[in-house]
Structure 1
Amino acid sequence: MDRFSSLTVFRRVIECGSFSAAARDLNYSNAAVSKMVKDLEAELGAQLIVRTTRSLHLTDIGRTYFDQVSDLLDGLAAADEQVRAETGTPRGRLRVAAPMSFGLATVAHMLPRFAARHPEIRIDLVMNDRFVDLVDEGFDLAIRGGALADSSLRARKLHDIRRVLCAAPDYLSRHAPPATPEDLASHAGLVYTGAQTPDVWHLRQGVRQAAIPVRSVFRANSSLAVREAALSGLGVALVPDLYVRDALSSGTLVQILPDWEGAPQALHALYPAHREQSLKHRLLIDFLVGEFAALGPAPA
């Protein structure tokens, strides 16, 4: 048995959550993945994974073994990266997590440029709104907005996201534009349900603040869906400026109460501390910093 391949397969089965997903990721057959894990368990004389028809999970000894194997494989990868740093040839896989809407609107457009610049690096982008555990799930980097929780993760700031109020000209032709934040309470609200307080918009103008109850006519767990509802003329939206810059420039959306906006949200790249020595990881971080810097501040 090729021990290195078996350990790699074992780790990917846990990270991917199933034998079939690991097989697709590693370009192996399902039978080969299953056999390699069974052979590994036989050689160790211990069951590492409990399998059911719908799920799998690690045994207690399997969890300990997984952590130790992950550290070992990460150490080998770091050693490889050190050599490649000297030769200037970064290669390997980078697994990146990003929120769904933000990933679709920005990251999905950026990463292909990085991949074209570094053809030996394979990008694995996973987009969802679940809070992923970078270490346990084998991610190299996650892009997240909001306050950072205390953790062992390293962080690099990428951008400050503004959230602006906007509506379509058609909607504003049928409803008097609000003159004050309080006027928003009588307007049709388009609500992003993933916000901390979706039914109350917290706005600020310098040191002044306002909490406005929203009369929602449309609710979605995606800011991109909220933007589309706004473009259709359905109501007023409070959305990240990155999602509506083109629409505001073209006039298909109009900014409302431009002196008022939602609290800014810092966007960070988060990564495990042991990834700092990886050349391909440093290249990706520097690339993302440059890409977001090129966006510039949102137009006031």
Structure 2
Amino acid sequence: MTAYRILVAVADEGNFASAAKSLGLSNSAVSKNVRELESLLGAQLFVRTTRSVRLTEAGQTYLERVKRLLADIEAADAAVTEMAGEPRGTLKLALPMSLGLLRVTPIVPAFQKVYPQVSVDLVLDDAKVDLIAEGFDLAVRGSGDLADSSLIARRIADLKHVLCASPAYLERQGPPESPQSLREHEGLLFTKADDPELWRLRRGDEVIDIRVKGKFSANNSMAIRQALLADAGIALIPRLYVEEDLAARRLVDVLPDWEPEHQSVWVIYPPGPHLSAKTRAFIDFLTVRLRDVR
């Protein structure tokens, strides 16, 4: 780019000395850059006299294109600088189905009211996506989906879980009296957990791991909820997905003295020296809105 800017300055000033002064360069540096550019192109760009220089026909043609190129580069620089300062553009976001539908999708319109220059493209899928290859700006994931160490992960919330079942199931099978008695029940298993059959429960300082079995499993929490409502068994599920069912007594807490292990919610995004303004703004907005996740 330096040689191009020198070319424009020499053409505007009409001599090497004035061009060098305007650019803060030495006369020899300006002359050398012009000679190297002419050698690279295999064409003479200037006709030189003792006091001035003027463009050749080839030089004039080349200058016009160089000016357009420099203008495009300056416009591109300005656009990127503006985007870095003010959130704008399209934000492509990958979300797990249940959390995306229940908690993230409803806040997107509010985000866009604050940042009207940002378009949001949501992809709701419980399958893991390749953020870089598929052009995503960020993804929301649970603790069990952080295997890709090349990405940057930031924890934004904790999901409280609950052990629950329908009153009809508990009436038919009898409620478990202890964590150990969960082994005698039908577990509804969430297959995206690190270990779907391992349920960790805490009471004060006491922590116990229970291995459960079951004939129903799913990779989506809302499918687990439907199985709960169909009286199919006991599930360990994020409370936010069943809080209305618990309030309406369609489902009830099991072993309420024991607290299941929480699951963290993370945002994942590609590494880089500069996080775009739109991505940073959405992460901050999402973090605030998910603070009340129970």
TM-score by length of 1: 0.65
Partners in 1 of 2:80 and 2:225 — Cα distance? 42
Choose the corresponding residue for 1:97, options 94, 99, 105.
94
Equivalences for residues 40-55 of structure 1 within 5 A: none
Any idea what SS the aligned residue of 2:156 has? Answer: strand
Listed one character per residue, the Cα deviations across residues 56-115 of structure 1 (whole Å, up to 9, x for unaligned) are xxxxxxxxxxxxxxxxxxxx98863532465x5x32100101122322232222223323
State how 1:157-168 maps to structure 2 within 5 Å: 157-168=155-166
Q: Summarize deviations over 1:16-61 as a string: whole Å, max 9, x none.
A: xxxxxxxxxxxxxxxxxxxxxxxxxxxxxxxxxxxxxxxxxxxxxx
Give yes or no for contact 2:83–2:276 (8 Å, CA) kept in 1: no
- Per the alignment, residue 278 of structure 1 pairs with 276
- Tell me the secondary structure at the aligned position of residue 237 of structure 1: strand
SS at match of 2:170: helix
- Trace 1:23-42 onto structure 2 (pairs within 5 A): none
What stretches of structure 1 of length at least 5 have no aligned partner?
A: 1-75
Q: Specify the alignment match of 2:235 in structure 1.
A: 237
Instruction: State the match for 1:83 in structure 2.
Output: 82
Whether the 8 Å contact between 1:169 and 1:253 is mirrored in structure 2 is yes
Gaps in structure 2 of 5+ consecutive residues: 1-74
Residue 214 (structure 2) aligns with: 216
Which amino acid in 2 is paired with 1:103?
G
Letter in 2 for 1:126: V
Structure 1 residues 122 and 77: alpha-carbon distance in aligned structure 2, compared to 1, 3 A threshold: farther
Percent identity of the aligned residues?
45
1:127 aligns with 2:95: no
Q: Deviations over 1:221-279 (max 9, x none)?
A: 21110111112222211111221122222222111112324322211112123384422
Partner of 2:263: 265
Give deviations 1:183-216, integer Å, cap 9, x for gaps. 1111222121222222332333344233323231
SS for the counterpart of 1:129 is: coil
Is 1:194 aligned with 2:192? yes
* Change beyond 3 A, Cα 1:256–1:159: same
Counterpart secondary structure, 2:236: strand
Q: Show structure 1 runs of 4+ deviating over 4 A.
A: 76-79, 147-150
Whether the 8 Å CA contact 1:82–1:279 is kept in 2: the answer is no
Structure 2: distance between partners of 1:165 and 1:204: 12
Count of residues paired in the alignment: 219
Q: 1:197 to 1:273 in 2, by over 3 A?
A: closer
Paired with 1:77 and 1:238, the residues of 2 have a C-alpha distance of 51
Q: What do the CA deviations read for 1:115-145 (whole angstroms, capped 9, x no partner)?
A: 3443321111112223222222211111111
SS in 2 for 1:274: coil
Structure 2 Cα separation of the partners of residues 108 and 218 of structure 1 = 28
Q: Tell me which amino acid in the other structure corresponds to 1:120.
A: Q
CA 1:175 to 1:278, structure 2 compared with 1: closer, same or farther past 3 Å? same
Map of 2:142 onto structure 1:
145
Local SS of the residue matching 1:219: strand
Whole-angstrom distance in 2 between the partners of 1:94 and 1:274: 16
Q: 2:158 aligns to what SS in structure 1?
A: strand
Mapped to 1, the partners of 2:113 and 2:241 lie a distance apart of 25
Matches of 1:149 and 1:206, distance apart in 2: 31
| Structure 2 CA distance for partners of 1:254 and 1:279, relative to 1, 3 Å | same
